[in-house]
Amino acid sequence: MTHSIRTLIVDDEPLARDSIRVLLGPDSDIEIVGECGNGTDAVEAIQVLAPDLVFLDVEMPAMSGFEVLDALCAEELPRVVFVTAYDKYAVRAFEINAVDYLLKPFDNERFRAALDRAKRDLSAPEPSESQTLRILRLLEAERGAGRFDRIAIREAGRIYFVELDDIDWIAGAGNHAELHTAEQSHLHRESLSSLENRLDPRRFLRIHRSTIVRIDRIRELRPRARGDYDVILKDGTSLSLSRRYHDRLSRLIPE
């Protein structure tokens, strides 16, 4: 390697962090830039330290390893070696997506294989794009398996979560999405189109270029001119269904 690999260790178990640190110790290519014991600290550390490589625990209290990645922009994603206690079926999913993993408990040989794979990825001509895409595909697979049930919001130096079950509708706000719940709105750093692709179409529908609505929050549809509709939610909120998106809501409109 032409430069040290800046490495971050993230695990809620101190002994697990110690084990990874000891295994990395003899490798002159590695510079350990930090350790984190929870997902919230991990997000901040990745943004501030910009590590090349992260050993990331999957199962942590409050915020999982997947949610750590979900809270980052695509350009902030480092190379990741997942550390997991998942069974062999979940491990196969990691392999299929070509993102390496360490299954607890792991030995020195398996650790070295994972590290060597990460080094090869870092040495590839354009590793950043390929690694980012692999991680995003893995996140999509997790969501497709029903694990996507809340959205991480970063605000004023903290991270909190909005449950999908609490969302009434979503508005586009430039490159961001504004999540509206019964109590308040939350600004999420993701475009409306990107978020639409992640949401279950049986529960959420886009009704306008700048609006997604939770289907079971709709109370009534009021026809307007030229095929448009006013979409009235149960709390009285009025949204616009444009003709362009008419077909998406056709099953809710009587013949």
10 and 128 in a single domain? The answer is yes
Q: Is residue 161 part of a domain?
A: no
> 34 and 117 share a domain?
yes
Cis peptide before 14 (omega within 30 of 0): no
Residue 96 lies in a domain: yes
CB 241 within 8 A of CB 220: no
Give the domain extent around 134: 5-147
In the chain, % of residues over pLDDT 90: 41
Residues 176 and 115 in one domain: no
pLDDT one-digit tens code per residue, 187-245:
988 888 878 877 888 899 999 999 999 999 999 988 887 767 899 999 999 999 887 88
173 shares a domain with 117: no
> pLDDT-derived band of residue 252, with 50, 70 and 90 as boundaries?
low
Residue 24 is part of a domain; what is its CATH number? 3.40.50.2300
| 162 assigned to some structural domain | no
DSSP state at residue 101 = E
Residue 131, Cβ density class (10 Å: 0-12 exposed, 13-18 middle, ≥19 buried)? buried
Residue 159 belongs to a domain: no
Q: Are 249 and 211 in contact (CB under 8 A)?
A: no
Look at residue 186 and tell me if it is in a domain: yes
pLDDT digits (tens, 9 = 90+) for 50-109: 999 999 988 887 788 878 887 887 778 888 888 877 654 355 545 444 457 787 788 899
Examine residue 157 and state whether it is found in any structural domain, yes or no: no
CATH number at residue 224: 2.40.50.1020
Q: Are 47 and 36 in contact (CB under 8 A)?
A: no
Q: What's 8's DSSP letter?
A: E
pTM for this model (two decimals): 0.61
pLDDT at 6: 96
Q: Does 155 fall in a domain?
A: no
Do 109 and 179 lie in a common domain? no
Q: Of 202, 152, 158, whose CA–CA distance to 179 is shortest? A: 152
- Domain co-membership, 36 together with 73: yes
Region of residue 232 (phi > 0: left; psi between -120 and 50: alpha; otherwise: beta):
beta
Do 124 and 219 lie in a common domain? no
Structure letter (DSSP) for residue 147: I
**93 plus 190 within the same structural domain:** no
